[in-house]
Amino acid sequence: MSSLTVDVIVVNYNTRERTIECLSSVLDQRIPGLSVILVDNGSSDGSAGAIAAAHPSVTIVDIGENIGFARGVNRGVAASVADYILLLNPDASVFPGSLEALVAFAEAHPENGVYGGRTVGEDGSLDPSSCWGAPTLWSLTSFATGLSTLFKRSPLFDPESLGAWQRDTVREVPVITGCLMLARRRDWDAVGGMDERFFLYGEDAEFSARARSQGLRPVIVPEAVIRHDVGGSTGSTGRKMAMVMAGKVTYLRLVWPALPALWGVLLLQAGAGVRAALEAVSRSRRRTWRDTWTHRRAWRRGYPAAERTLFGREPATVPRPLRVQAEPAFRTEAANPYNGTLYRALQRRGARVSDLSYWRLLIEPTDVVHLHWPDLSFLSGSRRAIHVARLVLFYGALRIVRPRGTVLVWTVHNVTSHEERSSAPIRRAAERLLLRNVDGIIGLTEQGVEAAREAYPGLHEVPAAVTPHGHYRDDYGFGVPREQARAALGLPQDGPVVATVGQIRAYKNIPHLIRVFRSLPTDAVLLIAGSASPAELEAEIREAAGEDPRIVLRLRFLPDDELAATLAAADLVVLPYSRIQNSGSAILAASADRPVLVPDLGAMRELRAQLGDRWVRLYDGELDAADLHDAVAWATRDDRPAAVDLSALDWDAIASQTLTAYRDFRSRSRRAASPVKTRVPAARARS
């Protein structure tokens, strides 16, 4: 596993000896980078003390009460800082080599995101419970009529069992169960962890459904094998089946639309009734289904209500997660990690976030639709008919879902678009639709909110909040030494390097920067890195650079490692933009601990106040030779701290402010028919 770290999360409840055996099967293998976090759900059998004595290296989270599996898992994950999260049941034992195989597969196939293995019984025979097919109306109809039992493991009548497949080949599956489930921490946060409305059973199926909705593809790795003693902490079979049914009902109500979910619950009850009747007619000593049928009033409502009858306790108060569809959320993070990092931070605070889908907007309850760059979302591409269709579909769907309380939020990154897209009439129509429908705006700075309201007077009546642009320190490998970076890029080891990085567009004024640099009698190197568009701009840049040996052009898309190396090699990053509101490139440079020179425009003064004048330098008017000369001298002084203090751009704080803004916008919405009644003032909100 090399330098990777894995935290194994085990949730224990009154299975002391079996849990100690489980932990021994993991720890005795002495796998580098692997640690164990044991969550004890208020066991009465002395589990916490016995486990601490048997395995002192285990981190124990003692809850003090039985909070269930989903909540227990989330408490364990909250105590973890590893690269990977591995869920393991306390009634499981891990075969040697299995965990290494699971992690190696995950590293080789990051697109899958969620990974399971093969489970066997004590005699080595297959236990199919490591994975399942997802419920469908057909599979539940087969259950209701008894066909799934009569034709067990039939691909037609028992599709959730996945047929006779022995879990002995790599295969993508709908559901990975929590007895053995591996996920990269980043993916875990993006999916949002286990839904705490579940108490026991069903939470892993719902987690898998959310993972699939975000483009992940859960997969079985047959080389990862555990022995699994199913149901070690759930008592009698009738009680266990009632909990399983409560989990299934909860899954249907959370994942399926309302009418199919209602029909699915009725089919589950019918199936339980058929099996209870068969037990009675056959005078079976087993009472599994008769007990399940007797307790149907408890489980047919699902969790958390089922906790009252099944466990004799009041359901935990779990706030309903805020449901957000963002455009974009995660789909663009290969080009810019900003959105993905923001929404993973929101997920850590319990929100459910997905990329915007017009269809999903119609069929799934959604609290907030969050737009970032509307012109890119609706007006990209050259076909104007598609632009019109996108606008009609989006705003039509938004109008339909307004009565559910859905609100529209716009983060105003730029007051005006950097590029004119589509035709002027379509652009005007898109602007009118946005301004008529938006319920709240978010600015990255106070000045950004003021500029937006000045540009669009209609926004004076719209609530606003300020949430900063977060840093990029955790998104790139910025640890490359300067000497190594310069060698990799073919740059001289001595002398200053001035760089500008990112997508190159006309407003970024790069030809002017080149001309100013060439006027300086300096031994510095100017590095221009990033793809230039359109082609005429690239030609202008090459002409401006001429044959000057001090200018290095890398006019192409930069992969993450090369972007990090470019910043590591630089002494100063210059962004000579002719217009600017906010700058992700400036924050990117600061995240790499590189000083930056920017124009005194837009919100750059606020950025200097956030990061300090040792890291952000402003110039007035158009960049000239004196500005650049003085900035190089400023950047190469040796009195600068080793790292930028980025606490003002912390993503977790930004996520908290964003959620507060969402709640405020929902409470103040003038359009939604059912706005929330609780008023929560937005952080740094503006009326």
Secondary structure (3-state) at 465:
strand
Per-residue pLDDT reduced to its tens digit, 185-217:
888 988 888 998 899 999 999 999 999 988 899
Confidence of residue 509 (pLDDT cuts 50, 70, 90): very high
Q: What local confidence, expressed as pLDDT, does residue 234 receive?
A: 47
Dihedral of alpha carbons 27, 35, 69, 44, sign: positive
Per-residue pLDDT reduced to its tens digit, 272-321:
999 999 999 998 888 999 999 998 998 999 988 888 777 766 666 666 78
Per-residue pLDDT reduced to its tens digit, 512-524:
999 999 999 888 9
What is the layout of strands, in order, in the sheet containing 440-443? 352-355, 323-327, 368-371, 407-411, 440-443, 464-466
Q: What local confidence, expressed as pLDDT, does residue 170 receive?
A: 97
Q: What local confidence, expressed as pLDDT, does residue 319 receive?
A: 65
Mean pLDDT confidence for 173-186:
95
Higher pLDDT, 603 or 106: 106
Confidence of residue 7 (pLDDT cuts 50, 70, 90): very high
Q: Which domains does the chain have, with CATH numbers?
A: 6-130+167-233 (3.90.550.10), 235-318 (no CATH), 323-466 (no CATH), 482-648 (3.40.50.2000)
Q: Contact, 507 vs 564, CB < 8 A?
A: no
Q: What local confidence, expressed as pLDDT, does residue 1 receive?
A: 60
Q: Tell me: pLDDT of 235 over 70.
A: no
Q: Tell me: pLDDT of 684 over 60.
A: no
Segment among 378-387, 588-597, 615-624, 677-686 with least mean pLDDT: 677-686
Please state the φ and ψ torsions of residue 499, each to the nearest 5 degrees: -130, 155
Q: What local confidence, expressed as pLDDT, does residue 259 receive?
A: 92
Q: Contact, 65 vs 38, CB < 8 A?
A: no
Q: What local confidence, expressed as pLDDT, does residue 318 receive?
A: 60
Higher pLDDT, 493 or 235: 493
Q: What local confidence, expressed as pLDDT, does residue 583 receive?
A: 81
Q: Tell me: pLDDT of 647 over 50.
A: yes
* DSSP H stretches of helix in 364-464: 374-379, 384-401, 424-437, 446-455
Q: What percent of the chain has pLDDT above 70?
A: 95
Q: What local confidence, expressed as pLDDT, does residue 568 receive?
A: 94
* Cis bond before residue 559 (omega within 30° of 0): no
* Cis bond before residue 319 (omega within 30° of 0): no
As a whole number, the mean pLDDT across the chain is 90
Q: Tell me: pLDDT of 678 over 60.
A: no
Mean pLDDT confidence for 565-578:
94
As a whole number of angstroms, the distance between CA 93 and CA 569 comes to 49
Segment among 239-243, 399-403, 434-438 with least mean pLDDT: 239-243
* Cis bond before residue 365 (omega within 30° of 0): no
Q: What local confidence, expressed as pLDDT, does residue 45 receive?
A: 93
Q: Is the backbone of residue 193 left (phi > 0), alpha (psi -120 to 50) or beta? A: left
As a whole number of angstroms, the distance between CA 499 and CA 516 comes to 14
Q: What local confidence, expressed as pLDDT, does residue 476 receive?
A: 87
Q: Contact, 35 vs 82, CB < 8 A?
A: yes
Residues whose CB is less than 8 angstroms from the CB of residue 593 and which lie 6 or more positions away in sequence, other chains included: 478, 642, 643, 644
| Whether this model's pTM surpasses 0.75 | no
Confidence of residue 335 (pLDDT cuts 50, 70, 90): confident
Amino acid identity, position 145:
T
Please state the φ and ψ torsions of residue 527, each to the nearest 5 degrees: -110, 115
Q: What local confidence, expressed as pLDDT, does residue 478 receive?
A: 87
Q: At what angle do helices 384-401 and 424-437 cross, to 10 degrees?
A: 10
Q: Tell me: pLDDT of 497 over 80.
A: yes
Higher pLDDT, 161 or 522: 161
Mean pLDDT confidence for 62-70:
91
Q: What local confidence, expressed as pLDDT, does residue 510 receive?
A: 95
Q: Tell me: pLDDT of 674 over 80.
A: no
Q: What local confidence, expressed as pLDDT, does residue 348 receive?
A: 76
Amino acid identity, position 16:
R
Q: Which residues of 56-84 are buried (b: 16+ CB within 10 A; e: fewer)?
A: eebebbebeebbbbbbbbbbbbeebebbb
- If you count them, how many residues does the chain have? 687
Q: What local confidence, expressed as pLDDT, does residue 676 receive?
A: 39
Confidence of residue 602 (pLDDT cuts 50, 70, 90): confident
What single DSSP character describes residue 128? G
Q: At what angle do helices 651-668 and 338-348 cross, to 10 degrees?
A: 80
- From the CB of residue 559, how many other CB atoms can be counted at a distance below 10 Å? 10
Q: What local confidence, expressed as pLDDT, does residue 670 receive?
A: 62
Q: H or E stretch including 220?
A: strand 219-228
Per-residue pLDDT reduced to its tens digit, 130-160:
999 999 999 999 999 999 999 999 999 999 9
Q: What local confidence, expressed as pLDDT, does residue 502 receive?
A: 87
Mean pLDDT confidence for 451-462:
92
Q: 87 pairs with which residues across the strands?
A: 9, 181
